[in-house]
Structure 1
Amino acid sequence: MKPINTALCSYGMSGKLFHAPFISANPKFNLYGVLERTNNHAQKQYPGIKTFRSLEHLLADENIELVIVNTPNITHYDFSKKVIQAGKHLIVEKPFTATVKEAKELIQLAKEHNVVISVYHNRRYDSDFKTVQKILKEDLLGEIIEAEFHYDRYDPKLSYKIHKETPTAAVGSLYDLGSHIIDQALVLFGMPVAVFADLDSYRPNSQVGDYFDLKLFYPSHRVILKSSYYVREPLPGYILHGKKGSFIKSKADVQEADLQAGKSPDSKNWGKEPVTEQGLLHIEKDGKTIKESIPTLTGNYMEYFDTIFDAIRHNTRLSVKAEDAMMVIAIIEAALKSNEEHKVIEL
């Protein structure tokens, strides 16, 4: 089967770590080119690829089938619209768009142009989240009462990337980090009936949100999603309590760290967490109390790209649909409204 000629719209951290290594290591794809307005960093790493100086130049190349929009959040809508109108298949980095209105327009436009559109919610393929998903599928905890997910950091300094610290649409930790754990919550539990949010900024001179505490209301349980840049001692990434017991798991997927260390996604033992990071299951079964460590499943972002190939070449169902990502934006919009009005927002 012919590999899919793929182009990246930028070669910053996202391009270097989360896209180019997977595209280049997967025989189903061909890393055809990268948009770099002034440099040739990608070409030095991947000799033979083309360097484009403008989006228009990139979209004019008829050999390109798939474009990955991994530019600053505020540009996602505009870039994606141009990609779709050029008849190219599309992957958009999270967050999908700034608003639900923009997301709906892109989804409709993709249908009209008969192109595949997906959003890069790669954290569905983290080892820790896959393990949590398995625990729930096996109903080991019984009916869930409360789940709490954290995406914390200790990073008081402002980013050197100006676009990340400029108060414009789709900027701040709720969009950047929140998109990940909101998507994970929706995968596990579906859409909530209401949202309450407490949003703030704590870093010196910060003009964008760097703290969020969301509560998602479901008919039978609650889901709490939290993030702060002032968490020096890591908390569990996942805390789930059900009527049969609890499961606690650290946020310990190794893929990002391995990519930063220069490891290739096709290397041996890719995506395997240290045994020391196994989750703790504490339940009652057959009248006996069980407290044991649970082996962590293997994480692999390559699985996402495999599903993209199948959707484009074989017209199969996408693992991450644009409609899924639009629901994430709907939660974010509700959270912003909740924080502004200091009340629960019904969905």
Structure 2
Amino acid sequence: MKQIRTALLSYGMSGKIFHAPFLALHDGFELTGAWERSKKLIQNDYPAVKSYSSLDELLNDTIDLVVVNTPVDTHFEYAKQAILAGKHVIVEKAFTTTAAEASELNTLAKENNVKLAVYQNRRWDSDFKTVKSVFESNILGSIVEAEIRFDRYNPILSDKQWKESANPGAGILKDLGPHIIDQALCLFGYPNAVFADIRTLRKNSLVDDNIDILLIYEDKRVRLHAGFFNKELVPSFVLQGRHGSFFKSRSDVQEDVLKTGAKPNLDTWVTEPEAHQGLLHVVKNGETIRKTIPTLQGNYYDYFDEVYKSITDNQQEPVTAEDGLKVMQIIEAAIKSAQLGSVVSLNN
């Protein structure tokens, strides 16, 4: 099996939890190391890898794939340097700070004949995979309205300064927003227009921390919400179709288990508790059906497996730069809508 030599641009939480364990698990990747500016931690977990002291040192090594998992306002600069160095690239969400930056990276990747993928891992959550399966089964009939939420209760400011300072990549719209926007686009495609309300609710916060976005389609409305004042959670996924409804909590447990230091596998990787199974309530052939739906297995390994195939077999990336660009276009439309207090039309 061809080995894809892969390096991370940081080894904080995302590198330690979301990337390194799955790269180490996959036989097709060789985790080469990480750029570590101050704390040198990666060799504690992976003794054979390198701790790079600079981006230039990393890019000058025999690296095939670079994972840009640094603060959002650095994504464009670092991804561009990696692409121009001839490396394949994975960029975390938010892809960039502007749609123009996303478009430029997309063009550069094509011109340099490298793969460029966005890390939207929530597509491989157990909850979303289940929602997508129910949606695609058409048991609900045509969808007339839907809601996707990413709720937390955390009124205290983060101690991560880059998350709370007034920089172009900070705020919940570019943190949790890309997850729910991407999931909506995955299910329903690109909308005709956007209406948004973006607020700052936490004491002393300098960034947006509460968003409500309405995606307007010809035949449906899709509401997106993320915030930090949701102590009692409501269903995170609500699909309302002409034949009935499906409700599902956001209850994938991969992140929580990874934080304990557990390593992923392909055989007995974690599953959601049965208590969080989704509720289906429909009318089918004149009969009312109300039952729980077993949750599908989630595994972020599958994302990396698709990245591997995109590089070795020249297949499409699992989340393309075009996907990332569309998310950024929705984000920019939401910002404009909130500023104007009006609906913003999109160019389809």
- TM (normalized to structure 1)? 0.98
Whether the aligned pair in 1 keeps the contact of 2:121 and 2:300 (CA below 8 Å) is yes
Q: Residue 219 in 1 paired to residue 218 in 2?
A: yes
SS of 1:84's partner is helix
Distance in 2 between residues matched to 1:289 and 1:271, nearest whole Å? 33
The runs of 5 or more residues in structure 1 that have no matched partner are: none
Q: Residue 22 in 1 paired to residue 29 in 2?
A: no
Where does residue 341 of structure 1 map in the other structure?
340
Q: Residue 89 in 1 paired to residue 97 in 2?
A: no
Where does residue 209 of structure 2 map in the other structure?
210
SS of 1:151's partner is strand
Where does residue 52 of structure 1 map in the other structure?
52
Q: Residue 64 in 1 paired to residue 63 in 2?
A: yes
* Count of matched residue pairs: 346
C-alpha deviations, 1:38-77, integer Å up to 9, x for none?
222011111010110111110011x210000000000000
Distance in 1 between residues matched to 2:216 and 2:147, nearest whole Å? 12
How far 1:286 moved relative to its partner? 1.2
How far 1:138 moved relative to its partner? 0.6
Whether the aligned pair in 2 keeps the contact of 1:127 and 1:271 (CA below 8 Å) is no
C-alpha deviations, 1:247-280, integer Å up to 9, x for none?
0001100110110111111165314111111000
Where does residue 180 of structure 1 map in the other structure?
179
Distance in 1 between residues matched to 2:270 and 2:30, nearest whole Å? 23
Distance in 2 between residues matched to 1:102 and 1:4, nearest whole Å? 27
C-alpha deviations, 1:171-226, integer Å up to 9, x for none?
11011001001000000000000000000011110000000000000000000000
Q: Residue 159 in 1 paired to residue 169 in 2?
A: no
Where does residue 2 of structure 2 map in the other structure?
2
The residue type paired with residue 333 of structure 1 is E
Where does residue 34 of structure 2 map in the other structure?
34
The residue type paired with residue 109 of structure 1 is L
SS of 1:214's partner is strand
List structure 1 segments (4+ residues) > 6 angstroms apart after TM superposition. Answer: none
C-alpha deviations, 1:72-122, integer Å up to 9, x for none?
000000000000011000000011001111011111111111110000001
The residue type paired with residue 21 of structure 1 is P
The residue type paired with residue 240 of structure 1 is L
Where does residue 283 of structure 2 map in the other structure?
284
The residue type paired with residue 165 of structure 2 is T
How far 1:317 moved relative to its partner? 1.7
Q: Residue 13 in 1 paired to residue 17 in 2?
A: no
* Structure-to-structure mapping, 1:91-130, within 5 angstroms: 91-130=90-129
Distance in 1 between residues matched to 2:141 and 2:101, nearest whole Å? 38
How far 1:231 moved relative to its partner? 0.5
* Structure-to-structure mapping, 1:289-328, within 5 angstroms: 289-328=288-327
The residue type paired with residue 74 of structure 2 is T
Whether the aligned pair in 2 keeps the contact of 1:154 and 1:231 (CA below 8 Å) is yes
C-alpha deviations, 1:285-311, integer Å up to 9, x for none?
111100000000000111110011111
SS of 2:231's partner is coil
Where does residue 168 of structure 2 map in the other structure?
169
Identical counterparts, % of pairs = 51
Whether the aligned pair in 1 keeps the contact of 2:71 and 2:169 (CA below 8 Å) is no
SS of 2:151's partner is coil
Whether the aligned pair in 2 keeps the contact of 1:195 and 1:346 (CA below 8 Å) is yes
The residue type paired with residue 134 of structure 1 is S
- RMSD (Å), alpha carbons: 0.8
Whether the aligned pair in 1 keeps the contact of 2:4 and 2:30 (CA below 8 Å) is yes
SS of 1:290's partner is strand
How far 1:331 moved relative to its partner? 0.2
Where does residue 191 of structure 1 map in the other structure?
190
Distance in 2 between residues matched to 1:274 and 1:343, nearest whole Å? 42
Distance in 2 between residues matched to 1:175 and 1:40, nearest whole Å? 28
How far 1:319 moved relative to its partner? 1.8
